[in-house]
Amino acid sequence: MNRSIIARLEKIVGRDGVLTSPEDLAVYGYDGTFEDHRPNLVVLPRSTEQVSQILSLAAEENIPIVTRGMGSGLAAASVPFYGEMVLTTTRMNRILEIDTVNASTHVEAGVVTADLQAAVEKLGLFYPPDPSSIKHSTIGGNIACNAGGPRCLKYGVTGDYVLGLTLVLADGRILRTGNQCIKDVVGYDLKALFTGSEGTLGVITEALLRLTARPKFARTALAEFSSLEEASHTVNAILLAGIVPAALELMDETAVACVEESLHLGLPLDVEAILLIETDGSDDETVWREIEAAARICRDNGARQVSVARDEAERASLWQARRSVSPALARKAPNKLGEDITVPRSAIPEAVRGLKAISAKYGLPIVIFGHAGDGNLHPNILFDKREPEQWEKVEQMVGEEFALALQLGGTLSGEHGVGALKRPYLQQALGPVSTEVQKRIKAALDPFYILNRGKIFPD
Amino acid sequence: MNRSIIARLEKIVGRDGVLTSPEDLAVYGYDGTFEDHRPNLVVLPRSTEQVSQILSLAAEENIPIVTRGMGSGLAAASVPFYGEMVLTTTRMNRILEIDTVNASTHVEAGVVTADLQAAVEKLGLFYPPDPSSIKHSTIGGNIACNAGGPRCLKYGVTGDYVLGLTLVLADGRILRTGNQCIKDVVGYDLKALFTGSEGTLGVITEALLRLTARPKFARTALAEFSSLEEASHTVNAILLAGIVPAALELMDETAVACVEESLHLGLPLDVEAILLIETDGSDDETVWREIEAAARICRDNGARQVSVARDEAERASLWQARRSVSPALARKAPNKLGEDITVPRSAIPEAVRGLKAISAKYGLPIVIFGHAGDGNLHPNILFDKREPEQWEKVEQMVGEEFALALQLGGTLSGEHGVGALKRPYLQQALGPVSTEVQKRIKAALDPFYILNRGKIFPD
Restricting to B residues 50-109, those with a Cβ less than 8 Å away from any Cβ of A are 99-104
Alpha-carbon span B66 to B85, nearest angstrom: 6
- The B residues from 108 to 127 touching A (CB cutoff 8 Å) are 124-125
Architecture of domain B3-88: 2-Layer Sandwich (3.30)
**Interface contact B181-A342, CB threshold 8 A:** yes
Confidence bin at B321 (pLDDT 50/70/90): confident
Contact A146 B185 (CB under 8 A): yes
What are the extents of the domains in chain A? 3-88, 95-213, 217-327, 333-407
In this prediction, residue B263 carries a pLDDT of 85
| B434 lies within 8 A of chain A by CB | yes
Question: Which pLDDT value is given to residue B246?
Answer: 95
- B116, pLDDT greater than 80: yes
Q: Shortest Cα distance from B147 to chain A (angstroms)?
A: 9
A375–chain B nearest CA distance, Å: 7
Mutant choice from B163, B167, B181 vs A, greatest count of A C-beta within 10 A: B181
Tell me how far apart the alpha carbons of residues B251 and B369 are, in angstroms, rounded to a whole number.
Answer: 4
Chain B nearest-CA residue for A184: B414
What is the C-alpha separation between B359 and B429, in angstroms, rounded? 22
Q: Report the chain B residue with the minimal C-alpha distance to residue A457.
A: B187
| Alpha carbon distance B58, B92 (integer Å) | 20
Closest CA–CA distance from residue B239 to any residue of chain A (Å): 7
With contact defined as beta carbons under 8 Å apart, do B228 and B273 qualify? yes
Q: What is the pLDDT of residue B322?
A: 87
The answer to whether A198 and A417 have CB atoms below 8 angstroms apart is yes
Q: Which residue of A has its CA nearest to B287?
A: A286
Q: What is the 3-state secondary structure (H, E, C) of chain B?
A: CCHHHHHHHHHHHCHHHEECCHHHHHCCCECCCCCECCCCEEECCCCHHHHHHHHHHHHHHCCCEEEECCCCCCCCCCCCCCCCEEEECCCCCCEEEEECCCCEEEEECCCEHHHHHHHHHCCCEECCCCCCCCCCCEHHHHHHHCCCCCCHHHHCCHHHHEEEEEEECCCCCEEEEECCCCCCCCCCCHHHHHCCCCCCCCEEEEEEEECEECCCEEEEEEEEECCHHHHHHHHHHHHHCCCCCCEEEEEEHHHHHHHHHHHCCCCCCCCCEEEEEEEEECCHHHHHHHHHHHHHHHHHCCCCEEEECCCHHHHHHHHHHHHCHHHHHHHHCCEEEECECECCHHHHHHHHHHHHHHHHHHCCCEEEEEEHHHCEEEEEEEECCCCHHHHHHHHHHHHHHHHHHHHCCCECECCCCCCCCCHHHHHHHHHHHHHHHHHHHHHHHCCCCCECCCCCCCC
pTM of the model: 0.97
Of A185, A216, A293, the CB nearest to B145: A185
Mean pLDDT of B319-348: 92
CA distance A322 to A332: 16
Radius of gyration, alpha carbons of chain A? 23
CA pair distance B155, B247, nearest whole angstrom: 10
Cβ separation A456–B413 shorter than 8 A: no
pLDDT digits (tens, 9 = 90+) for A201-230: 999 999 999 999 999 999 999 999 999 999
Of residues B157, B213, B438, nearest to A242 (C-beta): B213
Chain A residue with CA closest to B188: the answer is A197
Q: What is the pLDDT of residues B138-185, one digit of tens each?
A: 999 999 999 999 999 999 999 999 999 999 999 999 999 999 998 999
* Long-range Cβ pairs for the range A10-19 (8 Å, 24+): A12/A43, A12/A45, A12/A50, A12/A53, A12/A54, A12/A57, A13/A43, A13/A44, A13/A45, A13/A46, A13/A50, A13/A54, A16/A44, A17/A43, A17/A44, A17/A45, A17/A46, A17/A50, A17/A91, A18/A42, A18/A43, A18/A44, A19/A43, A19/A44
pLDDT beyond 90 at B340: yes
Contacts of B177 in chain A (CB under 8 A): 430, 434
Determine contact: A378 vs chain B, CB below 8 A. no
Instruction: Give A168→chain B minimum CA distance, Å.
Output: 10
pLDDT of residue A272: 94
Chain Cα centroid distance, residue B286: 30
Residue type, A394: V
Alpha carbon distance B127, B116 (integer Å): 8
| Contact with chain B for residue A396, Cβ under 8 A | no
The beta-carbon neighbor of A437 closest among B125, B175, B374 is B175
CB contact under 8 A, A152 and B183: yes
Q: Which of B183, B242, B435 sits opposite A215 (nearest CB)?
A: B242
Mean pLDDT score of chain B: 96
The candidate with the shortest Cα–Cα distance to B203, out of B104, B96, B39, B59, is B59
Rounded Cα distance, A352 and A368, in Å: 7
Helix (H, G, I), strand (E, B) or coil at A219: strand
Task: Assign a CATH topology to domain B333-407.
Answer: Alpha-Beta Plaits (3.30.70)
For residue B16, which amino acid is it?
A: D
Of B124, B187, B410, the CB nearest to A418: B187
Once rounded to an integer, what is the mean pLDDT over residues B366-391?
Answer: 95
Under a CB-based contact definition with an 8 Å cutoff, are residues A398 and A423 in contact? no
Question: How many angstroms separate the Cα of A153 from the Cα of each of A132, A342, B192?
Answer: 15, 13, 19
| Domain A217-327, CATH | 3.30.70.2190
The values of phi and psi at residue A165, to 5°, are -135, 145
Distance from the Cα of B447 to chain A's closest Cα (Å) equals 11
Contacts A160 to B, Cβ<8 Å: 160
Is the minimum CB–CB distance between B456 and chain A shorter than 8 Å? yes
Chain B contact set for A213 (CB, 8 A): 239-243
Per-residue pLDDT for B266 more than 90? no
- Within A62-184, residue ranges assigned H as helices are 113-121, 139-145, 152-155
Of A240, A343, A445, the CB nearest to B103: A240
Hey, CA dihedral for A389, A391, A395, A398, is it positive or negative?
positive
Q: Which of B123, B153, B160, B188 to mutate to test the interface with A (most CBs of A within 10 A)?
A: B188
Q: Output DSSP code: residue A419.
A: T
Share of chain B above pLDDT 70, in %: 100
Identical fold at B217-327 and B333-407? yes
B412, closest residue in chain A (CA to CA)? A186
Report the residue from A177, A435, A438 with minimal CB separation from B434.
A177
Query: Which positions of chain A have pLDDT values less than 50?
Result: none
Contacts of B195 in chain A (CB under 8 A): 189
Measuring CA to CA, how many Å separate B58 from each of A455, B87, B88, B195? Answer: 35, 11, 15, 23
CATH number of B95-213: 3.30.465.10
Residue B376: what pLDDT?
Answer: 96
> Is residue A179 less than 8 Å (CB to CB) from chain B?
yes
* pLDDT (0 to 100) of residue B457: 95
Contact present, B258 and B265 (Cβ < 8 Å): no
Q: Under 8 Å CB-to-CB from A184, ≥6 apart: which residues? A: A178, B342, B411, B413, B414
- The ipTM is 0.96
Shortest Cα distance, chain B CAs vs residue A371, angstroms: 10
Model confidence at B459: pLDDT above 80: no
Which ranges constitute the DSSP H helices of A195-324?
Answer: 228-240, 253-263, 284-300, 312-323
The answer to whether B183 contacts A148, with C-beta atoms less than 8 Å apart, is: yes
Contact A193 B192 (CB under 8 A): yes
Which residues in chain B have their CB less than 8 angstroms from residue A417's CB? Answer: 185-186
Q: Is A193 on the interface with B (CB under 8 A)?
A: yes
